[in-house]
Structure 1
């Protein structure tokens, strides 16, 4: 059975993509610790990040770094948080989020999907895409 992330990547479920290529996708999580909270995932369904091919792992991190830089710039925060958790969905993924303190690292602080403002989610996705474009990252397929 496909993971929820595979269903988002294939278009079977909706997603607010900020980046996509043949091997990596980045989209906003529906339960963010802050608006702009992005999941960077391999297109290939691999459960554990430790099982990823090293070149794919490197590319995943390259995109996470670009997303993090865009978040810092566009959300005017001192840091971009980076977290690997992975028990909730059996598909490797990196959480990248605006961080002003350590609270974002506690995913139990996340907004529920019914507590987010769709307009703010759309604005956050566009901010990240804009920040990526300003860094020269092609987001045309996002």
Structure 2
């Protein structure tokens, strides 16, 4: 059965796309822990990140690094944090979460409210800085 992420990749469900190549897709999280919170996923549906072939995992990490650099360039956080939790959606994914202050709580349980227009503009701004 296709996960919600596979449906996003297939454009069956809309997303705020940041970047895409032939094997990966990055998009803004619709329940962001911080402004610019992005998910990086493999297009191949696999439940558990660490069940991925080592080469595929390395490629996803390199893709995520390029997206993180674009987030850094666009939003200028102190740094971009990484969370690999993978419990809610059974499709391997990496959370990239900009950290804007040292005291910021960037756990997945914390959410910031961003409207559709702000999400669209944010996705466009970050995507312009992705160098694939």
Give the TM interval when normalised to the shorter protein: over 0.9
Q: Structure 2: 5+ residue runs without aligned partners?
A: none
What is the CA distance between 1:39 and its match in structure 2? 0.4
- Give ranges in structure 1 of 5+ residues lacking alignment: 138-142
- Contact 1:33-1:109 at 8 Å conserved across structures: yes
Partner of 2:2: 2
- Residue 19 of structure 2 is matched in structure 1 by 19
Match of 1:124 in 2: 122
| C-alpha RMSD over aligned residues | 1.2
* Counterparts of 1:4 and 1:93, CA distance in 2: 12
Out of 102, 105, 109, the residue aligned to residue 103 of structure 1 is 105
CA distance in 1, matches of 2:7, 2:93: 14
After TM superposition, the score normalised by the length of structure 2 is 0.92
**Count of equivalent residues:** 130
CA contact 1:81–1:98 (8 Å) conserved in 2: yes
State the 1:116 CA deviation. Answer: 2.7
Shift of 1:128: 1.2
Q: Distance in 2 between matches of 1:118 and 1:26?
A: 17
Aligned to 2:129, what secondary structure does the other structure show? Answer: helix
1:21-56 per-position Cα deviation (integer Å, ceiling 9, x unaligned)? 221111111101122111000101100011111111
Give SS of 2:121's match.
helix
Q: Determine whether 1:30 maps to 2:22.
A: no
Question: Are 2:72 and 1:69 equivalent residues in the alignment?
Answer: no
Q: Which secondary structure does the structure 1 equivalent of 2:109 belong to?
A: helix
Q: In the aligned structure 2, how far is the partner of 1:127 from the partner of 1:79?
A: 17
Name the CA distance, whole Å, in 1 between partners of 2:18 and 2:77: 19
